[in-house]
Structure 1
Amino acid sequence: MLNRLQESDIKLLRVFYAVASCNGFTAAEPVLRMQRPNISAAIKKLEERLDLVLCHRGRGGFQMTKEGEVVFQETKRIFNAFDNFVFNLKSLHDDYSGHITLVLMAGLATSMQLAVSKAVKSTMKKFDDIHVNIQTRLYNEVEHVALSGECHLVLSTYDMVKPESVTFHSTGVHCKGRLYCSPTHPLAKYREADALPDNVRIEDFPAIGMSGLSSVNYISGERRLAIQTFSDSYDVCMAAVMTGEYVGLLPDYIAKEQGAATGLVPICKGSLFPFSHELFVMNGKNTRLNPVLRHCIKELEYFISESQK
């Protein structure tokens, strides 16, 4: 079992990272500039070093094991940290080149994702030797990612108490939402009602919550949602709502972009449990905001604001 990481292990991890990212040995050959037998030998040696089976290969195709998935995610964290270290080191010498990592909250509106593309394009055009790595994380992971040094910038809504260790740059955009149900849910018949009848209690209907979301979202005056289970993203929350078993809080853009085809119903004209979560560009206080990152933040703020007009 591996007790200490050596330089040779880093090389083996890079091979595994490429294979896992490409979802196969053959697809990784041009990326690694290695032939398949050499790639296979490197993976086997890494598995021996870790005393773990990382993937299955054969007639059924390439498939990572559960242990392989964990090693892949941890490897991604290591290499992101390496890239960030090199980028920050170069910036101390006014050398603005290398890779920057931008993390997006999973399930952002399509308009916001397009705005991110425009901001990234603008940044890469201004700084010729900059490459941007865009990743996604679940809502309850974004604060940790901003603090961990895995990335430079995070784009996400945030409704918790803001930690002093994270810097928040407002985009001026708020993601609004409310309580939804499926067309088959008993509360769907109150779609056009101004309020629920006195004999109908929202507490009597199971609700699904979102991991990481502040609990104040589930309280409105004397009413409280009966949270029975949690999802890790708005997409998953919507899927649970569409089973007809739960009501759930969803951003309006989810209902507009994805819910239109499924018939998501805003209960009581959408007046129940309304929320408005501000969208931020975030970075850890330890992240050095050099001209590249400052320009990227400025462009993100501009294009996201423009996308909402």
Structure 2
Amino acid sequence: MLNRLQESDIKLLRVFFAVASCNGFTAAEPVLRMQRPNISAAIKKLEERLDLILCHRGRGGFQMTKEGEVVFQETKRIFNAFDNFVFNLKSLHDDYSGHLTIVLMSGLPLNVMTAVSKSVKTSMHKFEDIHFNVQTRLYNEVEHAALSGECHLVVSCYDMVKPESIVFHPLPYKCEGRLYCTKSHPLAKYRDQIPTSVELYDHPAIGITGMSPSNYIGNERRLSIETFSDSFESCLSAILTGEYMGLLPDYFVEGKTYAEELIPLGGDEFAFSHDLFVMNGKNTRMNPVLKHFIRELEYFVTQ
């Protein structure tokens, strides 16, 4: 069992990380520039070091175990932190090259995703030898991502009390939404207003982990949260069963094939508006590359 990480372990973890990212030994060969027998031997040695089975390989194809999934996620965090350390070290010498990691909250609207892509492109054109790693996290994970040092910037909504350990750069964009249910739901007839005589606790709702308005909204009329989702996507799935009502951004509904099945409830009383931010931990060195990316994002998100 591994008690202390050694240099040789880092090399083995890089092999495993490549195999897991490529979803197979053969696909990882050109990435690692290693032949399959050597890759297999490295994975076996790592499994012996960790005293864990990380993956199954055979006729059924490559498949990670539950333990392998955990090791893969932790390895990703380690290597992101390594990349960030090297980048920040270079910045001290005015060398702005290397890898930048940007974390996006899952479920952002298409125009925000497009703005991120354009900002990445212009930043890569302005600064030579800059590479971007763009990843996604669930809403309840973005604060940790900003603080942990595993990324440089986070693009996310944030409606909770803002910790002093995080710097918030507001973007000129709001994620607006409201309470939704299906046509078959008992409250579907109350588009404009839900009468005060209607007891909301009689109607189950689904909340979103970490998002404060998932528990209540409007004139302190609390929803009856009976289950939680971890994203707008899973919240939508629960609402479409017809058993729950829940909060969704309008961009999750407008123009979608399932829009005809959904009804907005309660008018403005049950509407919400979340500000969008670029976030970073106070220990993040805000060099010219990061500043440029934020300025570009502020511009493109309004286009």
TM-score of the superposition, structure 1-length normalised?
0.95
Contact residue 179 and residue 272 of structure 1 kept, 8 A: no
* Percent of aligned pairs sharing the same letter: 74
Q: State how far apart, in whole Å, the 2-side matches of 1:161 and 1:257 are.
A: 33
Deviation at 1:263, TM superposition (A): 2.2
1:259/1:173 CA distance change after superposition, 3 Å = farther
Q: Alignment partner of 2:151: what SS? A: coil
Q: Which residue of 1 is the match for residue 145 of structure 2?
A: 145
Task: List structure 1 segments (4+ residues) > 6 angstroms apart after TM superposition.
Answer: none
Cα deviation, 1:81-116, whole Å, max 9, x if unaligned, reads 000000000000000000000000001011111111
1:28 match: 28
How many pairs were matched up?
A: 303
Q: Could you tell which deviates more after superposition, 175-184 or 198-207?
A: 198-207
- Confirm or deny: 8 A CA contact 2:152 2:284 kept in the other structure: yes
Q: 1:206 offset after TM fit, Å?
A: 0.3
Matching residue of 2:275: 278
Q: Quick one: which of 293, 296, 299 aligns to 1:296?
A: 293
Offset, 1:199: 4.1
After superposition, the C-alpha distances for 1:205-233 in whole angstroms (9 at most, x for unaligned) are 10000011015861322521000111110
SS in 2 for 1:305: coil
Partner of 1:120 in structure 2? 120
> In the alignment, which residue of structure 2 is the partner of 1:98?
98
Unaligned runs of 5+ in 2: none
In structure 2, distance between residues paired with 1:248 and 1:84: 38
- The residue number in structure 2 matching 1:251 is 249
Alignment partner, residue 193 of structure 2: 195
CA separation in 1, counterparts of 2:115 and 2:218?
A: 33
Give how far 1:271 is off. Answer: 3.0
Alpha-carbon distance, 1:251 to partner: 0.7
Provide the rounded CA distance (Å) in 1 between the counterparts of 2:131 and 2:184.
Answer: 47
Q: 1:18 to 1:262 in 2, by over 3 A?
A: farther
Q: Which moved more, 1:131-140 or 1:212-221?
A: 212-221
Distance 1:257 1:211, change over 3 A: farther
Per-residue deviation at 1:301? 1.1
Task: Please give the alpha-carbon distance, in whole angstroms, between the structure 2 residues aligned to 1:31 and 1:216.
Answer: 43
> Could you say what secondary structure the match of 2:143 adopts?
helix
**Equivalents in 2 of 1:101, 1:146: separation in Å?**
11
Q: TM-score, normalised by structure 2?
A: 0.96
Deviation at 1:305, TM superposition (A): 2.0
Shift of 1:201: 2.1
Contact 1:107-1:233 within 8 A present in 2 as well: yes
What is the RMSD computed on CA atoms of the aligned residues?
Answer: 1.4
Aligned to 1:234: 232
